[in-house]
């Protein structure tokens, strides 16, 4: 059997066409031979009968030979010429035996030319036309010679017209074959281009590191690539027609969006058994219910691990810097305390009281330093309870300004909030200490809590002259301080607490100083102030 898999696509298409042609030719030839035998066998002489039977036998041999050729390596063009050539020879014999120029089978020469034109091969049509004319002339003149008949002028004219008609049919079919071949070539080019694009698309989709899922309206998987199957632990299998929720547990926000989309694009993280993925859900255009959603999955597990390692390195670097700052800040008070204790025995009582005060101040400084460090490194986890802002603000003001020397003014227009009171107190304590250190004049610090546009807003204002340009851009970074003796952890702690609780922190300049503003979601409000 001839192998056609190695042939180009357009060549492979020719062999079934050649087989179909041979099939229809066999049926048509059998019908012609049956008609010839039925109408011309009885009235013909014995010799013509034998020739007709011989032609029938040759016909079957030719058909068997042609079927054999379809399984050989003979080219398509040569097989066409052999088929049409043998047909023309049999038709010529048939014309000779059925009356020559008067034979009713002369039209078969034109029919063979038409059949040749359907094969989109111009050269095959031209050669078939020439051979058909030769066979026609040979059969007509052969019949006249055999029966010793003289061809009249009218018959000669008839022969010329018949040959002209054959050439005319051949020319028309050659033009049609040329046009058909051109269209067929263009069609083959389009098919080849489409096949190349399809193969390229399949290669791209297969080689993509990003997973791709096509979902229908009911969130059943219609198509997927290997990367998506690998992320879903379905490598080597076909998850088509499985519901996405049955394959993996969807993030709640993703499932809600797919069922009730409120925008065209949605992104979230998806914790899969293989790691963390960034999933993007896109609503596909069109009205095809089997292709409603495109989900792309990007494995970001390594990125998250890298971020974690970088965060740990940053934390270690911050701890190193913190230790250096702590050693520097602790050394000076300790030296002062040691010197004070050393000279305390050799001085009189009034001087001893002065030294004790110095020691007390240095111990308080060390205590504040340790408290700031513990506040900054302490892990934060908000616990939301019903909280009275007035109680938190009042206790913070009382603690920071024990003797009411600074006369801090405060007010709250909100009765209660759902938040973590310890975190609010930590933020307020640091902001107040920062304001007290910046603004020494009594009565210049103002604390206010109020509702604004669906949020609560806590503001702490001072008259400390504003923030220097040197630390303005890194105000909330650890160890960023513009004050002598400060270590820069108070505002860093404020920023850290706000980030954990989802609050917003900002600072704005005012006349003579600064105002720090904390904003959060307002769940309940009332009206109470002081």
Contact of 164 with 124, CB cutoff 8 Å = no
* CATH architecture classification, 304-376: Orthogonal Bundle (1.10)
Say yes or no to pLDDT of 347 above 80: no
Quickly state the pLDDT bin for 6 (edges 50, 70, 90).
very low
**With helix as H, strand as E and coil as C, how does 291-353 read?**
CCEEEEEEECHHHHHHHHHHHHHHHHHHHHHHHHHHHHHHHHHHHHHHHHHHHHCCCCHHHHH
253 pLDDT above the threshold of 80? yes
Report the number of secondary-structure helices (H) and strands (E) in the chain. 15, 12
- 423 vs 38: which has the higher pLDDT: 423
Q: Above pLDDT 90, what percent of the chain? A: 11
**Residue 92: Cβ-neighbour burial (10 angstroms; 0-12, 13-18, 19+):** buried
- Look at residue 485 in the predicted model and tell me its pLDDT: 53
* Mean pLDDT of all residues in 241-245: 81
Question: Is pLDDT at 44 greater than 70 in this prediction?
Answer: no
Per-residue pLDDT, 488: 65
pLDDT for 472? 73
Predicted local confidence at residue 448, as pLDDT: 93
Whole-model pTM: value is 0.41
Give yes or no for residue 173 having a pLDDT over 50: yes
Per-residue confidence (pLDDT) for residue 161, from 0 to 100: 93
Please give the helix or strand (H or E) that residue 462 lies within, else none.
strand 455-462
Q: Stretch 286-298: mean pLDDT, rounded?
A: 86
CATH architecture designation of domain 209-299: 2-Layer Sandwich (3.30)
Q: Is the pLDDT of residue 174 over 80?
A: yes
**Does 179 score more than 80 pLDDT?**
yes
pLDDT per residue as tens digits for the range 372-409: 666 666 656 788 889 999 999 998 888 888 778 888 89
pLDDT given at position 379: 59
pLDDT 10s digits, 183-231:
878 888 888 888 888 888 777 777 777 888 888 888 888 888 888 888 8
pLDDT higher than threshold 70 for residue 264: yes
pLDDT band at 481 (very low <50, low <70, confident <90, very high): low
User: Does residue 466 contact residue 514 with C-beta atoms inside 8 Å?
Assistant: yes
| Residue 476, pLDDT above cutoff 80 | no
Least confident of 44-48, 349-353, 441-445: 44-48
Q: Do residues 188 and 182 lie in contact, with contact meaning Cβ atoms separated by under 8 Å?
A: no
Contacts of 74 (CB under 8 A, 6+ apart): 82
- Overall fold of domain 385-521: Heat Shock Protein 90 (3.30.565)
Q: Where are the domains of the chain?
A: 9-198, 209-299, 304-376, 385-521
Fold: same for 209-299 and 385-521? no
Where would I find the H helices in 378-420? 389-400
Mean pLDDT of 133-147: 89
- The predicted model gives 411-429 an average pLDDT of 89
Residue 133: the pLDDT is 92
Between 186 and 486, the more confident residue is 186
The mean per-residue pLDDT over the stretch 323-329 comes to: 63
Comparing CA positions, the residue from 440, 459, 439 lying closest to residue 513 is: 439
Confidence bin at 526 (pLDDT 50/70/90): very low
- With b for 16 or more beta-carbon neighbours within 10 A and e for fewer, the 59-72 pattern comes to beebbeebeebbee
Interval 79-126: pLDDT, tens: 888 888 888 888 888 888 788 888 888 888 888 888 888 877 888 889
Average pLDDT, the chain: 79
Would you say the C-alpha torsion 390, 392, 395, 401 has a positive or negative sign?
Answer: negative
pLDDT at 11 over 60: no
At 1, is the pLDDT very low, low, confident or very high (cuts 50, 70, 90)?
Answer: very low
Report residue 504 as tokens: 């917003």
What is the model's pLDDT at position 446? 93
């Amino acid at each position: 059997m001839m192998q056609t898999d190695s042939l180009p696509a357009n060549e492979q298409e020719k062999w079934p066409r050649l087989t179909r042609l041979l099939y229809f030719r066999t049926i048509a030839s059998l019908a012609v031979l049956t008609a010839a035998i039925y109408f011309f066998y009885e009235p013909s002489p014995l010799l013509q009968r034998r020739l007709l039977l011989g032609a029938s036998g040759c016909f079957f041999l030719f058909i068997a030979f042609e079927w054999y050729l379809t399984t050989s390596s003979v080219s398509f063009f040569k097989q066409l010429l052999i088929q049409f050539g043998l047909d023309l020879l049999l038709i010529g014999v048939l014309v000779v035996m059925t009356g020559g120029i008067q034979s009713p089978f002369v039209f078969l020469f034109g029919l063979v030319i038409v059949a040749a034109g359907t094969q989109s091969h111009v050269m095959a049509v031209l050669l078939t036309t020439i051979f058909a004319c030769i066979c026609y002339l040979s059969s007509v003149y052969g019949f006249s010679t055999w029966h010793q008949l003289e061809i009249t002028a009218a018959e000669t004219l008839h022969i010329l017209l018949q040959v002209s008609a054959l050439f005319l049919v051949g020319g028309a079919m050659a033009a049609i074959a040329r046009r058909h071949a051109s269209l067929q070539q263009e069609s083959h080019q389009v098919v080849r281009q489409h096949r190349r694009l399809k193969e390229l698309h399949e290669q791209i989709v297969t080689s993509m590191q990003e997973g791709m899922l096509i979902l229908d309206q009911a969130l059943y998987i219609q198509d997927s690539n290997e990367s998506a199957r690998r992320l879903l632990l379905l490598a080597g299998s076909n998850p088509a027609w499985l519901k996405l929720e049955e394959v993996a547990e969807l993030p709640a926000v993703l499932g809600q969006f797919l069922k009730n989309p409120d925008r065209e694009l949605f992104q979230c993280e998806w914790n899969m058994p293989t790691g963390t993925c960034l999933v993007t859900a896109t609503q596909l255009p069109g009205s095809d219910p089997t292709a409603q959603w495109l989900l792309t999955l990007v494995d970001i597990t390594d990125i998250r691990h890298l971020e974690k390692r970088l965060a740990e390195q940053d934390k270690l670097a911050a701890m190193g810097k913190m230790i250096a700052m702590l050693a520097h800040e602790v050394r000076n008070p300790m030296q002062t305390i040691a010197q004070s204790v050393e000279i305390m025995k050799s001085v009189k009582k009034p001087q001893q009281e002065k030294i004790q005060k110095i020691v007390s101040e240095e111990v308080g400084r060390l205590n504040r330093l340790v408290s700031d460090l513990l506040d900054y490194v302490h892990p934060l986890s908000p616990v939301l309870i019903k909280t009275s802002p007035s109680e938190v603000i009042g206790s913070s003001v009382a603690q920071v300004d024990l003797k009411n020397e600074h006369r801090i003014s405060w007010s709250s227009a909100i009765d209660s909030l759902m938040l973590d009171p310890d975190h609010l107190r930590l933020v307020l304590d640091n902001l107040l200490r920062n304001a007290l250190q910046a603004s020494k004049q009594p009565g210049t610090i103002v604390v206010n809590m109020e509702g604004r546009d669906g949020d609560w807003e806590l503001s702490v204002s001072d008259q400390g002259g504003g923030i220097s340009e040197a630390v303005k851009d890194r105000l909330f970074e650890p160890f960023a301080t513009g004050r002598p003796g400060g270590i820069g952890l108070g505002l860093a702690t404020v920023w850290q607490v706000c980030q954990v609780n989802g609050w917003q922190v900002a600072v704005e300049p005012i006349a003579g100083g600064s105002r720090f503003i904390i904003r959060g979601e307002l769940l309940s409000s009332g009206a109470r102030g002081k």
